[in-house]
Amino acid sequence: MTDKPELDLSDPRAEIDSIDDQLIRLFVERMARTDEIGRRKSAAGVPVFNASREEEILQKVDRLVPEDLREDIRQLYRSLFACSRARQSRNPARLGKQVPGRPSVLVLNGPNLNLLGIREPDLYGKRDYAALEDYLIQTGQDEGLNVTCVQSNSEAYLVERIQNALGIYDAIVINPAAYTHTSVALLDALKAVSLPCVEVHLTDVSAREDFRTVSYVREACLDCFAGFGFEGYRKAFRLLKTYLTKNKKPA
């Protein structure tokens, strides 16, 4: 039996390593541009997701690679799009028009709300999260409030946003989603900052599974609006506006 010659891959692997170095550098540069776009979108009140722009890029890369690589390049770019959207969603909050002298309200939306329109549409509706943000910004303006919208699937990030709200915002509206029923950390953060807060849920959680009747955050909230869909946020805004007016501190 003859021994097989040792396979020497050192040269092509060295070339791949060199290419990877370039790819990593370009990836870092691309994400930096993504962050800048995210900041500009936030300042302009533009949704993160732009389906037509992503499709335009996919069609372009299709033309730049051989046919047998087209599905591969599409998978690569879909991953890049997902990274970009995640960074833009995490970094800047979505801001409504900020009018001096108006009360400022931080709206926190918890896990899986970014999947509105996809997640159980018979239960949560067919409008997506971008539509919810648009509704919140416009409703805030209608009610005479400066509104900032934040969505995160991370409990730690939501806690940090609550902590950082002190001294910046006058009130909080929170839809903790699944963390409603599990998070003592969110409760403790809300109690720590002692800002007036209202809990909101799109669905009537009291009429669903037994575990959804438990809310840890409610102890730190003025009230809860559940089962009114998007309109629950308007009810929360109005309650907070009334509360802030009645409890306005002398200048």
Q: Which of 196, 200, 173 is nearest to 246 (CA)?
A: 196
Q: What is the 3-state secondary structure (H, E, C) of the chain?
A: CCCCCCCCCHHHHHHHHHHHHHHHHHHHHHHHHHHHHHHHHHHHCCCCCCHHHHHHHHHHHHHHCCHHHHHHHHHHHHHHHHHHHHHHHHCCCEECCCCCCCCEEEEEECCCHHHCCCCCHHHHCCCCHHHHHHHHHHHHHHCCCEEEEEECCCHHHHHHHHHHHCCCCCEEEEECHHHHHCCHHHHHHHHHHCCCEEEEECCCHHHCCHHHHCCCHHHHCCEEEECCCCHHHHHHHHHHHHHHHHCCCCC
CA distances to 50, 113, 151 from 140, in Å: 24, 19, 17
Residues with active-site annotation: 124, 201
